[in-house]
């Protein structure tokens, strides 16, 4: 599979490496600045270009890993003369019909759902890929490519991707907010947040073997009014945490009775 990589940011860098490691030929890297195109191209053993005219016309797959806002700027010129190939973008929030505007026949979405820590080394094998394609042939190609770098490959349409993002807000952003509330309560009482890490790790590990509805523990699931009321009193000085405690306890208790 001869691949042209459009973009040289964090995602393009990690993805490019994983593709080359998996034996694919990334024939060139395009970036708006020559320096960043060259930096990534060197790692991948290919050529870097910063001029849209220089993008090869004979790649089989064009992977566009640009910021959402840059897509509409460069796509029209990029696609012209290359519209027989398979085009995919990597943006979870951009729906697939964007490609139809450019008169493409073969297109799709190639979305690795990853966290945004820049400093951290990414293990692509564990990153889930969500694929959407204009047809069966295109989907088969994308599945082959994705499966060569990750063991978690799924099909998901644009609507499902919207709910993936919403679900990630709960499971990751809001989880982190629970950690932050915990940290604040501990620190106000002379305890370090660090003491909570073993329990946090165990809570995450448990989710691998037990559905979270089954894994629920604590005063709310038992509806232990005695403990709940004591905790609410302890939160008198944190009205928002108090509200959060009451609401989440209600959600936990309701989920049990569904």
CB of 147 to a copy of itself, least distance (A): 15
Three-state DSSP at 128 gives coil
Token duo for residue 78:
């990029």
Given candidates 35, 174, 225, 229, which one binds a copy of itself under the rule CB under 8 A? 174
Quote the CA–CA distance of 179 and 191 in Å, as a whole number: 14
User: Binding to a copy of itself by residue 166, rule CB under 8 A?
Assistant: yes
User: Binding to a copy of itself by residue 219, rule CB under 8 A?
Assistant: yes
User: Binding to a copy of itself by residue 96, rule CB under 8 A?
Assistant: no
Q: Which stretch in 22-30, 67-75, 102-110, 151-159 sits in contact with a copy of itself by CB under 8 A?
A: 151-159
User: Binding to a copy of itself by residue 216, rule CB under 8 A?
Assistant: yes
Quote the CA–CA distance of 256 and 221 in Å, as a whole number: 7
Q: Which stretch in 13-21, 80-88, 99-107, 231-239 sits in contact with a copy of itself by CB under 8 A?
A: 231-239
When the beta carbons of 52 and 139 are compared against a copy of itself, the nearer one is: 139
User: Binding to a copy of itself by residue 128, rule CB under 8 A?
Assistant: yes
Q: Which stretch in 46-54, 83-91, 138-146, 170-178 sits in contact with a copy of itself by CB under 8 A?
A: 170-178
Given candidates 190, 236, 237, 257, which one binds a copy of itself under the rule CB under 8 A? 190
CB of 122 to a copy of itself, least distance (A): 10
Q: Which stretch in 32-40, 55-63, 131-139, 179-187 sits in contact with a copy of itself by CB under 8 A?
A: 179-187
User: Binding to a copy of itself by residue 60, rule CB under 8 A?
Assistant: no
CA distances to 49, 50, 129 from 125, in Å: 29, 30, 10
Given candidates 64, 65, 66, 220, which one binds a copy of itself under the rule CB under 8 A? 220
Put the strands of the sheet holding 61-64 in their side by side order: 47-49, 25-30, 2-6, 61-64, 86-89, 106-112, 129-133, 153-155
Residues 6+ apart with CB under 8 A from 89: 63, 64, 65, 66, 71, 98, 109, 110
Quote the CA–CA distance of 132 and 155 in Å, as a whole number: 6
Is residue 59 within 8 Å of 84, Cβ to Cβ? Answer: no
When the beta carbons of 35 and 215 are compared against a copy of itself, the nearer one is: 215
CA distances to 89, 108, 149 from 123, in Å: 20, 24, 9
Phi, psi of 125 (to 5 degrees): -55, -30
């Amino acid at each position: 599979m001869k691949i042209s990589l459009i973009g040289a940011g964090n995602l393009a860098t990690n993805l490019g490496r994983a593709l080359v490691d998996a034996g694919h030929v990334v024939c060139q890297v395009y970036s708006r600045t020559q320096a960043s195109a060259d930096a990534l191209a060197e790692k991948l053993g290919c050529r870097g270009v910063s001029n849209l005219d220089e993008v090869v016309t004979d790649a089989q797959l064009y992977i566009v890993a640009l910021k959402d806002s840059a897509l509409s700027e460069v796509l029209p010129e990029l696609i012209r003369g290359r519209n027989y190939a398979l085009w995919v973008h990597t943006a979870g929030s951009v729906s697939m019909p964007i490609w139809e505007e450019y008169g493409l026949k073969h297109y799709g979405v190639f979305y690795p759902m990853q966290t945004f820590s820049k400093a951290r080394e990414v293990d692509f094998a564990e990153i889930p890929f969500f694929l959407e394609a204009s047809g069966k042939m295109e989907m088969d190609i994308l599945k082959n490519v994705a499966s060569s770098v990750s063991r978690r490959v799924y099909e998901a349409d644009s609507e499902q991707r919207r709910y993936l993002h919403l679900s990630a807000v709960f499971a990751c952003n809001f989880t982190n907010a629970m950690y932050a509330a915990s940290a604040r309560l501990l620190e106000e009482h002379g305890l370090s947040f660090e003491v909570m890490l073993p329990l946090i790790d165990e809570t995450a590990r448990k989710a691998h073997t037990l559905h979270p509805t089954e894994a629920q523990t604590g005063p709310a699931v038992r509806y232990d009014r005695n403990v709940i009321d004591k905790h609410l009193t302890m939160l008198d000085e944190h009205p928002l945490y108090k509200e959060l405690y009451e609401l989440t306890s209600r959600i936990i208790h309701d989920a049990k009775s569904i």
